[in-house]
């Protein structure tokens, strides 16, 4: 059978057929999206405007915020719009674009989180050599490699997926286009190309996760050797939430791609996808920055410089006149 897709659009799965529950779902998704949008935009703005935050740690944090913002924007607004309009269809090209962008940002996030763990490892375990290890050139290369690798996997996965035939059911058992559910409804028997591509992505994700765990093991060993109790408590309060969010992201993404797709989707399957596409992009601003003293101080300086000082100058000029 030739690889010619006869399906012109796909139907995405809703969370409920009851209108009241659909409105609740749309409202919750919208609130989560707004929280992620505001949090990540604040991080990007503050780390760009405040020169004191032009360090490797905040450079990678800014990249992570861009990735999280893209991930949740690719999925949530379309899902909310579909729910409110009771129109769950997505065009063939729209589905292609969604698969490409989701794989790009998820792959990039794997690598950026790995770079962030390496940065913390270098800062805590090799403080005297930190500036030599984490130069601006090295940071730029790591960030570029993260984005390019994510883009490469996005191209390979989307091309491999949509080179298959879709000539039967067009109902995607998910609230966005993702590869496992698309493979489930494909009528092509030969999945070698996409299987190899997905296996490569899983191997990359597993390698990143192992590297992150090893980095944190070294970090915790170095922290436990610290003489000051306050320093140890501060390091653990920072690193443990980071590790928890990373684990949630990697675990839920792995479950979504490794678990066999059932004939009918369950609430549990949808919640797993919600965790790695929505929960972690919303939690990252809280865990990585809004609990950070330097970040809150920088936010205060930016607000004062950009809003309060111009306002005071305007009031002074008015009083003079």
Whichever domain contains 248, its CATH number is 1.20.1070.10
Helix axes 136-162, 56-85, angle to 10 degrees: 30
Instruction: Report residues of the chain scoring pLDDT below 70.
Output: 1-6, 16-17, 228-231, 234, 261-267, 289-292, 294, 303, 305-321
Does a structural domain hold residue 119?
yes
Does a structural domain hold residue 3?
no
Q: What is the pLDDT of residue 106?
A: 92
Cβ contact 180:256 at 8 Å: yes
| Domain that includes residue 125, residue range | 9-313
- Contacts of residue 300, Cβ cutoff 8 Å, sequence gap at least 6: none
Q: What is the pLDDT of residue 67?
A: 94
Cβ contact 203:153 at 8 Å: no
Spatial distance between the Cα atoms of 31 and 35, rounded to a whole number of angstroms:
6
The pairing of strands 89-91 and 9-12 is antiparallel
Residue 242's closest CA among 29, 57, 69, 46?
57
Q: What is the pLDDT of residue 97?
A: 93
- Contacts of residue 141, Cβ cutoff 8 Å, sequence gap at least 6: none
Spatial distance between the Cα atoms of 129 and 240, rounded to a whole number of angstroms:
24
Does a structural domain hold residue 206?
yes
Q: Per the structure, how many domains does the chain have?
A: 1
Q: Taking the CA atoms of the chain, what radius of gyration do you get in angstroms? A: 22
Q: What are phi and psi of 89, to 5 degrees?
A: -85, 150
Does a structural domain hold residue 321?
no
Nearest-5° angle of CA 156, CA 161, CA 167?
160
Q: What is the pLDDT of residue 266?
A: 62
Spatial distance between the Cα atoms of 163 and 171, rounded to a whole number of angstroms:
18
In the numeric block, the tokens 């690719």 are attached to: 74
Q: What is the pLDDT of residue 180?
A: 85
**This prediction's pTM:** 0.86
Does a structural domain hold residue 2?
no
Distances (CA, A) of 297 to 16, 47, 50: 44, 12, 10
Q: What is the pLDDT of residue 2?
A: 45
Does a structural domain hold residue 167?
yes
Instruction: Compute, in degrees rounded to 10, the torsion defined by CA atoms 266, 269, 271, 274.
Output: -130
Does a structural domain hold residue 90?
yes
Alpha helices in the chain (DSSP H): 19-49, 56-85, 92-125, 130-133, 136-162, 179-185, 192-224, 229-258, 267-274, 280-285, 293-303, 309-320
Does a structural domain hold residue 1?
no
Q: What is the pLDDT of residue 101?
A: 94
Spatial distance between the Cα atoms of 43 and 302, rounded to a whole number of angstroms:
11
């Amino acid at each position: 059978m030739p690889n010619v897709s006869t399906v012109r659009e796909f139907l995405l799965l809703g969370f409920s057929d009851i209108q009241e529950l659909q409105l609740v779902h749309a409202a919750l998704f919208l609130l989560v999206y707004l929280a992620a949008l505001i949090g990540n935009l604040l991080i990007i703005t503050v780390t760009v405007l405040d020169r004191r935050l032009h360090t490797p740690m905040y450079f990678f944090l800014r990249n992570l915020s861009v990735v999280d913002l893209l991930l949740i924007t690719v999925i949530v607004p379309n899902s909310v719009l579909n729910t409110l309009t009771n129109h769950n269809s997505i065009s063939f090209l729209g589905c292609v674009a969604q698969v490409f962008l989701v794989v790009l940002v998820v792959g990039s996030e794997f690598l950026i989180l790995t770079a962030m763990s390496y940065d913390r490892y270098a800062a805590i375990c090799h403080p005297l050599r930190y500036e030599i290890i984490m130069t601006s050139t090295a940071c730029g290369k790591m960030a570029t490699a993260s984005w390019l690798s994510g883009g490469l996997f996005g191209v390979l996965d989307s091309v491999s997926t949509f080179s298959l035939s879709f000539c039967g059911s067009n109902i995607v058992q998910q609230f966005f286009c993702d590869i496992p559910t698309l493979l489930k409804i494909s009528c092509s028997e030969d999945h070698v190309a996409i299987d190899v591509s997905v296996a490569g992505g899983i191997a990359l994700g597993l390698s990143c996760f192992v590297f992150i765990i090893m980095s944190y093991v070294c970090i915790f060993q170095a922290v436990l050797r610290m003489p000051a109790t306050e320093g140890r408590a501060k390091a653990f309060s920072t690193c443990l939430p980071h590790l928890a969010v990373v684990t949630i992201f990697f675990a839920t993404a792995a479950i979504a791609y490794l678990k066999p797709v059932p004939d009918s989707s369950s609430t549990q399957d949808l919640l797993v996808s919600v965790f790695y596409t929505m929960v972690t992009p919303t939690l990252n601003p809280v865990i990585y920055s809004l609990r950070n003293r330097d970040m809150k101080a920088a936010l205060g300086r930016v607000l004062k410089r950009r809003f309060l000082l111009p306002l005071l100058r305007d009031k002074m000029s008015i009083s003079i006149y």
